[in-house]
Amino acid sequence: MAEQDWKANKRVFAAVSLPTLLWTLLFFVIPMAIVWFYSFGENKGLTEIEFSGTLDNYKRATEFLYLSIFGKSFAVAALVTLICLIIGFPVAMAITFASEKWRPWLLLGIMLPFWTNLLIRTYALMMLLGTQGFANKGLEALWGGASWFRTLVGLQPLPTWEPVQLLFNNFAVVFGLVYVHLPFMVLPLYAALDRLDRSLIEASLDLGAGHFRTIMRIVVPLAAPGIVAGVMITLIPALGAYLTPDLMGGTDSQMIANVIERQFKKANDWPFGAALSFILIYAMFILIALQAMRRKGPEVR
Partner 1 sequence: MALFARTPRAPLEYSRTLWMRAWVGLVMLFLYAPLIVLMIFSFNDSKRNVVWRGFTTKYYEKALGNDVLVEALVNSLTIAALATIASLILGAVAAVMLWRFRFPLKGAVDGTISLPIIVPEICMGVAFLIFFAKWLEWPTDLIWPFNLGAIVIAHITFCFPFVTMVVRSRLASFNREQEEAAKDLGAGEWAVFRDVLIPHMKPALVAGALLSFTLSLDDFVITYFTSGPDTITFPVKVYSMVRFSVTPEVNAASTLLIILTIVLTAVALKLQGVKAIAETH
Which residues from 136-195 bind partner 1, rule CB under 8 A? 137, 179, 182-183, 187, 191
Angle, vertex CA 62, rays to CA 242 and CA 284, nearest 5 = 45
Which residues from 9-68 bind partner 1, rule CB under 8 A? 9, 11-13, 15-17, 19-21, 23-24, 27-32, 34-35, 38
Sign of CA dihedral 101, 102, 103, 108: positive
CA distance 240 to 180: 13
How many CA atoms lie within 13 Å of 7's alpha carbon, on the beta-carbon side?
0
Q: Are 254 and 266 in contact (CB under 8 A)?
A: no
CA distance 70 to 65: 9
Could you count the other beta carbons within 10 Å of the beta carbon of residue 269?
Answer: 18
44, 198, 213, 217: which one contacts partner 1 (CB under 8 A)?
198
Q: Which stretch binds partner 1 (CB under 8 A): 1-9, 51-59, 142-150, 293-301?
A: 1-9
Shortest separation between residue 65's beta carbon and partner 1, angstroms:
18
Shortest separation between residue 153's beta carbon and partner 1, angstroms:
29
3-class SS letters over 197-214? CHHHHHHHHHCCCCHHHH
Task: List all residues 6 or more positions away from 245 whose beta carbon is below 8 Å from its beta carbon.
Answer: 76, 173, 253, 254, 255, 257, 258
Q: Are 279 and 70 in contact (CB under 8 A)?
A: yes
Q: Which stretch binds partner 1 (CB under 8 A): 59-67, 154-162, 222-230, 280-288?
A: 280-288
Contact between 247 and partner 1 by CB under 8 A: the answer reads yes
For partner 1, the closer CB: 205 or 224:
205
Contact between 288 and partner 1 by CB under 8 A: the answer reads yes
Q: Which stretch binds partner 1 (CB under 8 A): 75-83, 145-153, 155-163, 268-276?
A: 268-276
Which residues from 105-124 bind partner 1, rule CB under 8 A? 105-113, 115-124
Q: Which stretch binds partner 1 (CB under 8 A): 61-69, 145-153, 196-204, 221-229?
A: 196-204
CA 270 to chain centre: 26
Helix (H, G, I), strand (E, B) or coil at 49: strand
Q: Which stretch binds partner 1 (CB under 8 A): 53-61, 103-111, 144-152, 155-163?
A: 103-111
For partner 1, the closer CB: 33 or 75:
33
Number of residues assigned to the chain: 301
For partner 1, the closer CB: 65 or 288:
288
Which residues from 213-242 bind partner 1, rule CB under 8 A? 236-237, 239-240, 242
For partner 1, the closer CB: 112 or 220:
112
